[in-house]
Amino acid sequence: MSKFTFPKTILSRPVYGTLEPRTGAAHLFIADAEGAEAILDVATPDMMARAHIIFIAKGTDYEGALKALSPAIFYAGPTYSAAEPRIHKTLGDAKMGLQVYLAGTEGLMGQAMQAATLAGIPHTAIQTEHRGSTARRMQCVHCKGITEDVEVDPFQCSHCGLHLFVRDHYSRRLAAYQGVCIDAEDPGNVPPSKGIYQ
Binding site for another protein (CB under 8 A): 22-25, 91-92, 94-99, 119-122, 124-125
With respect to another protein, which residue has the nearer C-beta, 25 or 82?
Answer: 25
How many CA atoms are closer than 13 Å to the CA of 57, on its beta-carbon side?
14
How many CA atoms are closer than 13 Å to the CA of 152, on its beta-carbon side?
9
With respect to another protein, which residue has the nearer C-beta, 93 or 186?
Answer: 93
- 56 in Cβ contact with 83 (< 8 Å): yes
- 73 in Cβ contact with 54 (< 8 Å): no
Supply the minimum distance, in Å, between the C-beta of residue 41 and another protein: 20
With respect to another protein, which residue has the nearer C-beta, 56 or 121?
Answer: 121
Supply the minimum distance, in Å, between the C-beta of residue 28 and another protein: 10
- Centre a 10 Å sphere on the Cβ of residue 97 and count the other Cβ atoms it contains: 12
Supply the minimum distance, in Å, between the C-beta of residue 116 and another protein: 9
User: What single string gives the DSSP state of each residue in 140-176?
Assistant: ETTT--EEEEE-EESEE-TTT--EEEEEEEEETTTTE
With respect to another protein, which residue has the nearer C-beta, 97 or 191?
Answer: 97
Supply the minimum distance, in Å, between the C-beta of residue 163 and another protein: 38
